[in-house]
Structure 1
Amino acid sequence: MNGAPVDGYVFPTTLSPEDVGFSKTAGILALALTAHPDFDDTPLWDEDGDGNYSNDKIVWHPHWVVLVEDKRVPGGLSVKEFDPADKSVVLPKTNPGMPMYMDSPGFQVVTEGNAIRIVVPDYRVRFKTNFKYDAVAAYMQVVTGEGSEHIKGSNMPMLGVYKVYSVLSKNLSLPYQVK
């Protein structure tokens, strides 16, 4: 996974991390639709329906992530990490096992032409439907050590935003509401 590229549409929200099953933590809860050819981080889901749960790398799939400001990367954000020994951190049951606030919830993603849609059941966000969001197209990258272990003492985040291609609102003001 080290150096793996990740393309994504990231939807920062006004929801709290607790609304989707994370323990209380500072940061911006975002729904990210990602595709990446170098690894499969959704071991519970078979997105392409071929019976193989570990080969769905380039299929668009969702993640909940907690984003934090991070000046180490050009895009200024990264997925919040934690010490794996910290037993106070709570993650959703569908977390892919990486030491960061990330979940692989398995929501349905539908692509049609140049449109991409995601179905998020309201009960999976504690029935909260009165929240705001924005949309960002971004390039992210993974920095890890051997296998899936993060490089100890690395000066780079495990999953950082390296380039922002566009922001729907132009100013990341989260002006959009769920329909």
Structure 2
Amino acid sequence: MTGAQKGAVAVLAAAALWTGASIAQPITAKPADATKASFDIVETTIVTRGGNAVFTTRVRGEAGKDKPDATGRFAGSSVYAYVWPTSLDSGDIGFEKGQGIVALAVTFHPDFDDAAHGGKNRHIWHPHWVVLAQDKACGGGLKVIDIPKGTKPKVPPTWPDVPLLIDSPEYPTTFTGETVEVSIPLAQISGIAGASFDGVTAGLKVNGNLHAPLLCVDNVFKVASGNLSLPGKVTPAN
């Protein structure tokens, strides 16, 4: 190979690396008829675009169509969620460092409010940051981490004053046909560039006895990767 040819190869290789770094690579999943269409993930991604981190999940049916039935009480009530588990640290979202699995969740729960500063959000889909941990007491094997009674942990300004590692920021959240999307200013989410992620749809349940674990992942509807391996990488949108 001549010197000129080697130079051309090097330029092409560099261009390929640059292109690969700048094009978003979504996690795709095959449709599953056994999963309810509104929760049957076919694609999920997180990209940075125009000063925001944009979280998107596309499903086989109409996103947000199905909601849990109201029970008229907090204990034992249900939550439906579109979730993006990430490799972020809990310190990146305003809690103490190293607490558990950080996930963004868009949720609907008709029996209680958990907005910041006493706001109302029980009748709309809305976003949360949650910190998760494994717990065999939960049907889905995971819980939102409890805050022990009498402790005063570090919490973000929009913590909804509940005994859980959960945050209630007001990020723009939209449902359009088969897609749910959340846009978060990059200034409000340190560490997102290059982070790993996955996509999950799930049902959660409040403990009927109102003791720890207070909020369990009760039923996992679908995991985009199939094994919660967080294969996605946050990249700039092309």
Shorter-chain TM-score tier = 0.7 to 0.9
Alpha-carbon offset, residue 138 of structure 1: 0.3
Inter-CA distance 171–127: structure 2 relative to 1 (3 Å threshold): closer
- Work out the CA distance in 2 between the residues paired with 1:86 and 1:20: 19
Alpha-carbon offset, residue 74 of structure 1: 1.3
Normalised to the residue count of structure 2, the TM-score between the two structures is 0.64
2:224 to 159, 168, 175: 168
Matched, 1:123 2:187: yes
Alpha-carbon offset, residue 144 of structure 1: 6.0
Q: In the alignment, which residue of structure 1 is the partner of 2:112?
A: 39
Contact 2:88-2:191 within 8 A present in 1 as well: no
Structure 2: which 5+ residue stretches go unaligned? 1-73
1:17 to 71, 76, 90: 90
Secondary structure, aligned partner of 1:120:
strand
Inter-CA distance 116–44: structure 2 relative to 1 (3 Å threshold): farther
Structure 1: which 5+ residue stretches go unaligned? 46-52, 146-150
Normalised to the residue count of structure 1, the TM-score between the two structures is 0.84
Structure with the largest fraction of helix: 2
Matched, 1:157 2:182: no
What amino acid is the match of 1:10? V
Q: In the alignment, which residue of structure 2 is the partner of 1:148?
A: none
Contact 2:144-2:164 within 8 A present in 1 as well: yes
1:2 to 71, 75, 83: 75
1:79 to 126, 141, 144: 144
After superposition, what is the alpha-carbon deviation per residue over 1:34-62, rounded to whole angstroms, capped at 9, x for unaligned?
Answer: 011111211459xxxxxxx42x3131111
Q: In the alignment, which residue of structure 2 is the partner of 1:137?
A: 201
Higher Rg: 2
What does 1:51-70 correspond to in 2, within 5 Å? Answer: 53-54=119-120, 56-70=121-135
Contact 2:116-2:169 within 8 A present in 1 as well: no
